[in-house]
Amino acid sequence: MPELNDLQRELRRLAAARDVVILAHNYQRPEVQDAADHTGDSLELSRIAQNDTHSVADMVTVAGLRKLKAEHPEAVVVAYVNTSADIKAETDVCCTSANAVQIVERFPKDQKIIFVPDRNLGDYVARQTGREETMIMWQGWCHVHDDFRAAEIEQIRADNPGSVLMAHPESRREVLDIADVVTSTSGMLCYPAGSDATTFVVATETGLLYRLRQRYPERKFIPALSRAICPNMKLTTLEKCVATLGDEWDDVLEHEVTVPEHIRVKALQAVERMIG
């Protein structure tokens, strides 16, 4: 762990006093990642947190998903783990960008699959697994990854001869088609170790560049788009973490998030089927 500043030390002290484990996503602020117990992508964090916590995000509606299921009664549902408990309860198995291909491959090739919510990730998985005819995509997307454009990236590569493009599978097809490697953030963190390249263009949220530069200080990492910043991930600040475990702890306990039991049980099944 790098040397901690006062606020980071205070957060560590409060976490120890509250018996709290701090998990930080690869996209979060460097100073938050440095103070965390574990950093990783959502699959890695899910595994660590298996019995403690899960993250949720609203990218798809329950009513919409039920309608799609009614239109395709023979289909199973594969949902990104970054969805609400309500959506997971409508889901057969969850996936992340790191394991989406393997999760879909668990099903027979002729099995219809409703994939929610990211159409770019779904398109990538369908192409990788030869299931373009049998996968039905929810038309959602991540605005950070959907903003990358092949023409802009080609210009960066022209300015940096010999550079390698690592692209996240939530990017558009035009970007994936020119990438040297398509992989999740955990894959991007490993990839340079096996490559002779000295310069990498990185098509994902810029938070990952912090960890890449830490791990490979002698290599050069260039964002595919400097404004590829997720405002939601950046909502977590050290100050808020310290306040949550410090002065605001009683409020936090009062605002505990509860999930109705019938939703919890079904949602947990979808997550457990993923983690296996």
- Minimum CB separation of residue 67 from ligand CIZ in Å reads 26
Q: Out of 97, 163, 171, 236, point to the residue binding ligand CIZ (CB under 6 A).
A: 97
Contact between 163 and ligand CIZ by CB under 6 A: the answer reads: no
CB-hemisphere CA count at 13 Å for 202? 31
Contact between 41 and ligand CIZ by CB under 6 A: the answer reads: yes
Q: Out of 84, 91, 185, 236, point to the residue binding ligand CIZ (CB under 6 A).
A: 185
Stretch that binds ligand CIZ, among 37-45, 109-117, 159-167, 260-268 (CB under 6 A): 37-45
* CB burial string 30-67: b at 16+ within 10 A, e below: ebbbbbbeebbbbbbbbebeeeeebebeebbeeeebee
Stretch that binds ligand CIZ, among 70-78, 86-94, 96-104, 147-155 (CB under 6 A): 96-104
Contact between 31 and ligand CIZ by CB under 6 A: the answer reads: no
**Judged by CB, which is closer to ligand CIZ: 38, or 112?**
38
**Judged by CB, which is closer to ligand CIZ: 34, or 41?**
41
* CB burial string 146-183: b at 16+ within 10 A, e below: bbbbbeebeebbeeeeebbbbbbbbbbeebbeebeebb
Distances (CA, A) of 144 to 64, 169, 188, 212: 23, 12, 17, 19
Strand 38-40 to strand 23-25: parallel, antiparallel, or no bridges (unpaired)? parallel
- Termini Cα distance of the chain: 30
Stretch that binds ligand CIZ, among 93-101, 108-116, 155-163, 243-251 (CB under 6 A): 93-101
Q: Out of 42, 83, 163, 244, point to the residue binding ligand CIZ (CB under 6 A).
A: 42
Contact between 184 and ligand CIZ by CB under 6 A: the answer reads: yes
What's the rounded Cα separation, in Å, for the pair 112 and 103?
Answer: 14
Q: Out of 82, 83, 84, 171, point to the residue binding ligand CIZ (CB under 6 A).
A: 82
The residues of the shown chain that bind ligand CIZ, judged by CB under 6 A, are 26, 41-43, 82, 96-98, 168, 184-185
